[in-house]
Amino acid sequence: MHASDPTFPLYPILSFLAIVVSFIPFSWHLRARNVGTCSYMLSTGLYSLVEFINSIIWADNVNNVAPVWCDISAQVIIGASVGITASTLAISRQLYNISLMNGHSMTPREKRRDTIFNVVIAFGIPLLVMALHFVVQPRRFDIFEEIGCQPATFNTVAAYVLYFMWPVLIGFCSCVYSALTLRNFYNHRVEFAKVASTNSGMSPSRYIRLMLLVFVDMFCNTPIGVFAIIVSARAAVLPFSALSETVDFTSVQLVPASEWKADRLGRAAVEINHWVPVFCSFVFFIFFGFAEEAKKNYRKAYESLKELFYCGGSRVEANSTIKPR
């Protein structure tokens, strides 16, 4: 394989590590029923997995060698890219609700209702956007050399309403929740120590780390969404009626690296979207992979593995001492 990207295999290595670090904290967040963080890890992990496979298969070609995989991965990219920002919205909403508690606990009914609402935000919105994208999908998918399979979108006004606007809209909602949360802490002087009493899985340190994660997403992914709209709007925005004349779900657009790299802004948009899941995975791990609860889980895993190997070694040694009759 002679990849056209001189940095190859840097991206596959980093995206593989992104997959690993995305799912390391998943089990204990799942046990704590943290919908927002679980959705965030699923989105970044699946997104990184798709980009990892794509970057290997199409490192040096644009051949349509795996059409079924491209059908699946294109939909995963749509859902996961929106899922990252939707997860952040669910987290920011959770932090806002805690800031309203002022140390009071939620009733089981309130917790159940809050969990359902967060599930709708974190998983329902990406599924909705995946369905809406079909309306503005002109062909089966696109294949970019060095990048791999990508969803195809017809550049019409409807595409901006149904698809492109979602990361920006969700980011704006997260910004509103975050501003209200900070206002509540300032106006009511809510102490971080009281936050821990509202939720058994929430400590002051974890609350701050979640807030920082929301801020990083808002100041990174939301501007990226705006940038994607600007880049797309530079091309001819066609009327929606023209879609019926060009739609062909059997066709695939093949884009060599020399073509998509020729336009500076277009190249930047492709590269940024390519690196977003890797960046988000490592950011999440930096915030939560070295926390105290993570260290406790690492110690438990280490003790379990040590006990497993110790017991296994003891059984082998015991069996070796039994003399045959």
**156 φ/ψ sector (left φ>0, alpha ψ -120 to 50, else beta):** beta
- What's the sign of the alpha-carbon dihedral 157, 140, 16, 271? negative
Q: How far apart are alpha carbons 139 and 217 in whole angstroms?
A: 31
Q: What is the pTM of this model?
A: 0.88
Highest-confidence segment of 124-138, 199-213, 283-297, 303-317: 124-138
pLDDT at 229: 94
Cα–Cα distance between 110 and 99 in angstroms, integer? 15
> pLDDT tens-digit profile of 170-189?
999 999 999 998 888 777 66
C-alpha to C-alpha distance for 278 and 49, rounded to whole angstroms: 10
Chain Cα centroid distance, residue 94: 18
- CA–CA dist 13, 265 (Å, integer): 26
Residue-level pLDDT at 317: 53
For residue 7, what pLDDT is reported?
81
Residues in the chain: 325
Mean pLDDT of 67-80: 96
H or E stretch including 270?
A: helix 264-288
- For residue 12, pLDDT over 90 is answered with yes
Strand partners, 144: 148, 255
pLDDT of residue 31: 81
Contact between 56 and 129 (Cβ < 8 Å): no
Label residue 318 by pLDDT band (50, 70, 90): low
The SS3 of residue 204 is helix
Buried b (16+ CB within 10 A) or exposed e, 42-55: bbbbbbbbbbbbbb
Q: Check whether 210 has a pLDDT greater than 80.
A: yes
What digits encode the pLDDT tens for the residues 147-163? 999 999 999 999 999 99
Q: Is the pLDDT of residue 199 over 60?
A: no
Cα separation, 30 vs 49, in Å, equals: 20
SS3 294: helix
My answer on whether omega of the bond before 9 falls inside 30° of 0, hence cis, is: yes
> What would the mean pLDDT of 106-124 be, rounded to a whole number?
89
Buried b (16+ CB within 10 A) or exposed e, 110-133: eeeebeebbeebbbebbebbbebb
| Residue 127 scores a pLDDT above 80 | yes
pLDDT at residue 313 in the model: 53
